[in-house]
């Protein structure tokens, strides 16, 4: 099922997601729906917060052919190093792209969609994507990493878009 993606400046995007207590059939369905929504959008990552489901779930697929999906439930960054600046966009902030600095290399511990614990080491685009989606789980948007001036411009642009709808 394709879910509705919340759009900036929707206040629900600021909700801090709660840990998943049990990877049960409801969580597995949510993961499946999130993948369908991400591919339909189209995007390379989606956090549960973006679809107004406030539990710590991320789905990602950065492959060209959209054939390497993976899910992180209750992800935690346990190591990070280096710095990289990359142009980011967001399904919740459509048609807006800006450079953001993040850690270049990270190690993450999470559960998969079957409830099994795993670690993943990621760098460059995958590391950026994971950090971007984890920010969503903490009520943070990529635009929060921008200068106050750029944030104000985007806020005004988003408010104008809201009035048109």
CB 88 within 8 A of CB 95: no
Of 76, 79, 133, 159, the catalytic one is 133
CB 107 within 8 A of CB 119: yes
For the purposes of burial, counting CB atoms within 10 Å of the CB of 31, is it exposed (0-12), middle (13-18) or buried (19 or more)?
buried
The b-or-e profile of 6-27 (16+ CB within 10 A means b, else e) is bbbbeeebebebeebeebeeeb
Residue 47 host element (H or E): strand 45-47
Copy the structure tokens of residue 152.
């104000």
Q: Is 133 a residue of the active site?
A: yes
Q: Tell me how far CA of residue 71 lies from CA of 57, 92, 103, 158, 165, in angstroms.
A: 7, 19, 20, 30, 33
CB atoms inside a 10 Å sphere around CB 105: 16
Q: Which residues are catalytic?
A: 133
């Amino acid at each position: 099922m394709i879910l509705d993606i919340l759009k900036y400046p929707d206040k629900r995007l600021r909700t801090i997601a709660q840990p998943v207590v049990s990877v049960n059939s409801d969580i597995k369905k949510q993961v499946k729906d999130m993948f369908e929504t991400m591919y339909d959008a189209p995007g390379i990552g989606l956090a549960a917060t973006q679809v107004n489901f406030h539990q710590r779930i991320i789905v990602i697929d950065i492959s060209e052919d959209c054939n390497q999906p993976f899910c992180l439930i209750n992800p935690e960054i346990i190591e990070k190093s280096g710095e990289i600046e990359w142009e980011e966009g967001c399904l919740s902030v459509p048609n807006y792209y800006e450079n953001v600095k993040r850690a270049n290399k990270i190690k993450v511990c999470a559960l998969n969609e079957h409830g099994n614990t795993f670690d993943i080491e990621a760098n460059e685009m995958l590391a950026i994507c994971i950090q971007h989606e984890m920010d969503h789980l903490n009520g943070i948007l990529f635009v929060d990493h921008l200068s106050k001036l750029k944030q104000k411009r985007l806020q005004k642009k988003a408010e104008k878009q809201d009035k048109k709808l």
